[in-house]
Amino acid sequence: MASPVLTSKNGPFKCDVYLGFGVTDLPIVQCLREKLEQCGIVCYPKYDAAFLWQSVHTAITEGVAHSRKCLLYVSQSFIEDQWYKYEVAEVLNKVRRFSRDMLIILKDSQLADMPYELNGCHVSAVVDAGSLEDPAFVSSLATELKKGR
């Protein structure tokens, strides 16, 4: 299967950030993706209607491997997603190989505790839907994603 066509401008990486999230978080993350792309960030989402032909397994594997950074939107939906354990393992493997600075975690404010697999990982922000609408928040997130270009 071919990979989604993305703009390659970061050496071996096809995009700036892999977006990991639960399927019911798609509307929230899609809104965030649009705002990040307006800031010049090339995103590789786990679920993308433009690439329905691609398996989720392939999207995770290629997305994590070909992204400079990984952003996980950690919510109850993410934890309950059938791909959760595989996705977290792929991301944490990349963190171990490269740098913990390549992982950004946005924790949904509705989620009481971080899942044990992600304990010890730095949570960049606890967010609610309103945070994602705040231009200052999106701008600071985009700046963080651009670090190391």
pLDDT tens, position by position, 66-76: 999 999 999 99
**Whole-angstrom distance, CA of residue 98 vs CA of residue 75:** 25
Strand residue runs (E) in 1-120:
15-20, 43-45, 67-74, 103-108
Question: In this predicted structure, what is the pLDDT of residue 102?
Answer: 87
pLDDT recorded at residue 3: 39
What class is the 15-146 domain? Answer: alpha beta
pLDDT range class, residue 8, cuts 50, 70, 90: very low
Instruction: Please tell me the predicted confidence (pLDDT) of residue 80.
Output: 95
Going by pLDDT thresholds of 50, 70 and 90, the confidence category of residue 1 is: very low
Contacts of 76 (CB under 8 A, 6+ apart): 22, 108, 110, 111
